[in-house]
Each structure stands twice: as C-alpha cells, then as structure tokens.
Amino acid sequence: MVGIGNALVDVLSHEDDAFVERLGVVKGGMQLVDEERAAAIYQLMGPAVEVSGGSAANTMVGFASFGGTSRYLSRIRDDQLGGVFAHDLRASGVEFDVPPATHGPATGCCLILVTPDAERTLNTFLGASATFGPDDVDPDAIASAGVLYLEGYLFDSPEAQAAFRAAAAHANDNGTKVAVSLSDGFCVERHRDAFTALIEDHVDLVFANEAEITALYEVDDFDEAAARVRHHGTIAALTRGAAGSVVVTDDGLVAVPAAPVEQVVDTTGAGDLYAAGFLFGTSRGLPHEVCAQLGSIAASEVIGHLGARPQVPLRELAAHLLD
C-alpha cells in the first residue's frame, strides 16, 4: 500500500475542557494554524509528549504492524522533528525515502489537546507537508501498489490537493485501488464539492466517521448518509466510535461492534488505525465483516494509550482472525 498525507509530529498534552474553550477552537475537530498561532497555543499548553503522527502515516504504520508492506509519501524539513518523523516511520517498517527539504517551512506538527473524556482536539501547522505537490507523487510506487490511500486533510493545501488528484488518476489507470479517508467534518465542509467529485470519479473505498459522512451529504442522520453512499460503486467503511462500524456496499450494510477497551486514554488515531486494519483485511481478500473486525482491533489498541501509533504488534492482537 502507498499512503499520501501530511507528515506531522504530534505534540500531546492533557488539558481540561475550559482550556479548549478558551482557545476558541471546536472540541474534537481539527483547526489549521499558522506558525505564529501554533507557537502561541504551544506556549499555553502544559508539559507535552512528542510522538510521530500524521493521519495517513499512522495508517501506514498500522498496516505494517499487521504484517503488510507500506510506503509513505509526504514532505518534511531537514530539522530535528523531521528526523524524528522519518526515524519513527522507518523503525515501524514503513518505506519512506522522500529526501527532506533543505529550505522552506519547518516539519509540520499537530498540537493535540487531550481532554479528560479522552477526546482529542487538533491544531495543525502543516509546515513542510503543505509543499507536497504533483511532482512529489511517485508514479511507479503507485502503479505497483495494491492500494493508494489518501487522507482528506490533504485537501486543505491546494498544492497537495492537486497531487491528490494526480495520484488518484494514476492509480485508476494502473489498476491500483483508491481509498480515501474524509479525516474531519469541517475539512469535508470546506471541500464538499471536491470530495464528492473525487469519490464519484476515482475512489473505490471511503473511510469516514458519522460527523464526516453526514457533513458530506448535508444530512442529519447517519442512516440517511449511509443510504446516500450506496450505489456509487464505492465501498464505505463508516465508524461510529463505541458503537462500532458499518460497512456499506451495493449489497447492503454490515454492522460490526467495536473491540473492547480497558480504558480509553486518547482517541487520537482511532480512525487511522481502523483504516489500517480494514485495508489489511482487504489486501488478504478477507470478507468485509472480518476487515471491519481487524479495524476495530487496531483502533482499540491505539485509544488505550497516548499517541496514534500502535505500541504492540497488531498482527499478534489479531492472530485469531488471521491464522
């Protein structure tokens, strides 16, 4: 699998609801911030932990943790956090060989406020990742992959959005399946028409949560959104938090429960890891229901600790479904 997304180092701190409110940001959402605003938010944050993140990058790490082969395309700078990002990706078994930029914005980061309910609120400084453009798309890597995975957050950078389309078209031409994650309800609202066109023209598999799929179709109701996504020739894997997930195909809907979690610590990366499990199942030709179960297992691992990367081999957690 090849993934394209924003390369970000996550900076996580525990904050209370009042802190999120004072910042004037939407709890549970993702706000884009410039470098100055990022610095101002960071200064207000409590002591933090730095862990590599980035939505599609997390998915590639999860896919590798199941035992799959994955490659990641994005832009980092030749700074310390760029070094951290590249190290962690490679140490997780993901191929990543884009040379770091020697000038331009710093490696991107995501300031993540984890509230006591384990919800996360994201403040993203795209940094170097916003400079990813069509020229950075590796056509050979895409043509030889089984799946091209694209994160919806890419739509927030015009350059990256152009790369996104170029990559999807190239995948279609070469028989590589295209999967896309809608990433965030507000991101969907900002780019609704572009998302809809992309899904109809290029996409085989859509990942979304309730907020994102209802935002896409401008409906209030999950069932209505699920009905709308059918009959596009597109498979949709829709996550509903603790209520599990629903896989929508032309043939109908399959609901799969969430995997049990001892204590939900930080929901950062839940959707990313669900996608990793689902796609790994797909790559093995497993039934959709099992793919969704693999997604649930991966999501349950990552929400049990701080950070969006698995801390144990997912292959072992899912051995009963894979062996």
Residues binding a second copy (CB under 8 A): 13-14, 42-43, 45-52, 61, 79-81, 84, 87-88, 91-92, 106, 307, 309, 311
Distance CA 243, CA 65 (A): 25
Give whichever of 84 and 169 is closer to a second copy, judged by the CB atom: 84
Give whichever of 142 and 308 is closer to a second copy, judged by the CB atom: 308
DSSP string, 214-257: HHHHT-S-HHHHHHHHTTSS-EEEEE-GGG-EEEEETTEEEEEP
Give whichever of 57 and 137 is closer to a second copy, judged by the CB atom: 57
Taking the complex as a whole, the smallest distance from the CB of residue 317 to a second copy amounts, in Å, to 16
Give whichever of 43 and 102 is closer to a second copy, judged by the CB atom: 43
Tokens 């980092």 found at: 76
Distance CA 177, CA 236 (A): 13
Give whichever of 87 and 231 is closer to a second copy, judged by the CB atom: 87
In this structure, what are the phi and psi dihedrals at residue 241, rounded to the nearest 5 degrees?
A: 60, -130
Taking the complex as a whole, the smallest distance from the CB of residue 43 to a second copy amounts, in Å, to 7
Strand partners for 11: 50, 111
Taking the complex as a whole, the smallest distance from the CB of residue 130 to a second copy amounts, in Å, to 18
Give whichever of 295 and 307 is closer to a second copy, judged by the CB atom: 307
In this structure, what are the phi and psi dihedrals at residue 170, rounded to the nearest 5 degrees?
A: -65, -40
Taking the complex as a whole, the smallest distance from the CB of residue 50 to a second copy amounts, in Å, to 4
Taking the complex as a whole, the smallest distance from the CB of residue 279 to a second copy amounts, in Å, to 20
Taking the complex as a whole, the smallest distance from the CB of residue 108 to a second copy amounts, in Å, to 12
Distance CA 28, CA 241 (A): 13
For 97, counting Cβ atoms within 10 Å of its Cβ (0-12 exposed, 13-18 middle, 19+ buried), the class is exposed
Residue 27's CB is within 10 A of a number of other CB atoms, namely: 14
